[in-house]
Amino acid sequence: MLSWRINRTLDSLVGRIERTTVLDPIANRGAALALKPLDASVGLRNVLSGTAGGHPLHPVLVVVPIGAWLGASYLDLTGGQQGRAAATKLVGLGIAAAVPTSLTGASDWAYVRGAERRVGFVHAVGNSLALGLYTGSWFARRRQRFALGTALAGGGALLLGFTGWLGGHLSYARGVGVDTTAFDGASTDWVDVLPEAELLDDQPMLVRDGRTPVLLVRTGGQLYAIADRCTHRGAPLHEGEFTDDGCIICPWHQSKFRVSDGQVLDGPANRSQQAYEVRTRYGSIQLRHADEPGSLRTDPIS
């Protein structure tokens, strides 16, 4: 009884945030500002998006300030006078760690739109307020005003609880940061997708493996096929630029993927594209997925 009431209240609250279009001008301005350095530097995009690690960096970094700050509150409650110095250090550590954590979050946020952008905006504003409270707490502790420092940290922790829930909503309910092909089914049997004569050299084409869009290209006499939906935010890769070095540049945010194996080379994407096996039989191009599909990729109807 209580759990569904809490669930419904939170859902209703986040639903309101998602529909609050009055946030758009300021949120869009903020996103445009965040995109400027990202558009200018591939290296910065790769670092902040976690391209090398294969997963978004923000959820990894976020544990440092949250852990440090909650540790400080724990010491405030249980550490007595001996815990004060350590609690002050933990608050300071959380403040320092909040800087790279915010940058990675801003990078992820810059590439979402609409409802996700609004929720992300409120998440960021709430986290900034929490950072302000912890900064005030740190200064208060440095001036030996530990009761004030404890109270400010407590307020920050409460705020973080809410903003953390919003961050979870973005990932688990809205799928921000999730590989957009995670649920794509793919046939492990050979499937005819296109007459061979219809494919022109170095011109990527969209074909379908059942309902799953696949990018097909022939270059240097070799056929290649990778998932067409960009793992980052789902752009149709066949509309992107095919480069001389055998890569496709995403038309939305310029992630770069090698078509021979789907490997992501440049972000903001951090997941590679699924690669397919390709062959020709009797003038027809066929493809299949080499791997057994994961459980979430299995069609439950069939």
Q: Which residues bind ligand FES (CB under 6 A)?
A: 111, 230, 232-235, 250, 252-253, 255, 268-269
Judged by beta carbon, residue 67 or residue 236, the one nearer ligand FES is 236
Judged by beta carbon, residue 232 or residue 238, the one nearer ligand FES is 232
Judged by beta carbon, residue 180 or residue 284, the one nearer ligand FES is 180
Judged by beta carbon, residue 152 or residue 248, the one nearer ligand FES is 248
CB of 231 vs ligand FES, minimal distance in Å: 8
Long-range contacts from 62-68, C-beta under 8 angstroms, 24+ separation: 62/101, 62/105, 62/164, 62/167, 64/93, 64/94, 64/97, 64/101, 65/93, 65/94, 65/95, 65/97, 65/98, 65/101, 66/94, 66/160, 66/164, 67/94, 68/93, 68/94, 68/97
Judged by beta carbon, residue 120 or residue 126, the one nearer ligand FES is 120
CB of 235 vs ligand FES, minimal distance in Å: 4
CB of 249 vs ligand FES, minimal distance in Å: 9
CB of 178 vs ligand FES, minimal distance in Å: 13
CB of 273 vs ligand FES, minimal distance in Å: 10
Judged by beta carbon, residue 250 or residue 275, the one nearer ligand FES is 250
CB of 255 vs ligand FES, minimal distance in Å: 3
Judged by beta carbon, residue 101 or residue 270, the one nearer ligand FES is 270
SS3 sequence of the chain: CHHHHHHHHHHHHHHHHHHCHHHHHHHHHHHHHHHHHHHHCHHHHHHHHCCCCCCCCHHHHCHHHHHHHHHHHHHHHHCCHHHHHHHHHHHHHHHHHHHHHHHHHHHHHHCCCHHHHHHHHHHHHHHHHHHHHHHHHHHHHHCCCHHHHHHHHHHHHHHHHHHHHHHHHHHHHCCCCCCCCCCCCCCCCCEEEEEHHHCCECCCEEEEECCEEEEEEEECCEEEEEECECCCCCCEHHHCEECCCCEEECCCCCCEEECCCCCEEECCCCCCCCEEEEEEECCEEEEEECCCCCHHHCCCCC
CB of 254 vs ligand FES, minimal distance in Å: 6
CB of 38 vs ligand FES, minimal distance in Å: 11
Judged by beta carbon, residue 84 or residue 117, the one nearer ligand FES is 117
